[in-house]
Amino acid sequence: MKFIKKIISCIKKRKKYKKGSYTSIILKDRKYIRKKIAEEAFEFCCEIKKKPNKKKFVNEFCDILFHSLVIFEYYKINFKLVKKEMIRRNNN
C-alpha cells in the first residue's frame, strides 16, 4: 500500500501546486475522468481477450488505477476505505 500512498500524495500535490499538469487539469472535469476510466478499462479488457502482452497488460492496469485514484481525490474519498472493504471481504 505504500506505493498507493505515494501516488495519492503525488495527485494531491499536483492538484495544489502544478496547475498546468495533466492531473490538475483532469481533476476539474469529472466527466473526463469517468471517460478515461471507461476507456482504460476497455483497453484492459481487450488485452484480457487475447494472450496479453505483459507490458501492455500492466500499463493498462496502471492507467485504470491512476484514474481511479484521481476520481477518489475528486470526490474526496479516502482510499483507506478500499483497504478496509478488501479486508472485510477477505474475512468473509
pLDDT in tens, 42-65: 999 988 887 878 898 899 999 999
What is the distance between the alpha carbons of residues 51 and 48, in angstroms, rounded to a whole number? 7
Q: What is the DSSP letter of 51?
A: S
CA-to-CA dists, residue 45 to 3, 21, 60, angstroms: 24, 28, 9
Number of domains the chain is built from: 1
CA distance 92 to 75: 28
CATH at residue 18:
1.10.287
Task: Determine contact, residues 33/74, Cβ cutoff 8 Å.
Answer: yes
Q: Among 59, 87, 71, 92, which residue's Cα sits nearest to residue 8?
A: 71
Per residue in 5-39, pLDDT (tens digit) is 999 999 999 998 888 899 999 999 999 999 999 99
Domain encompassing residue 29: 2-91
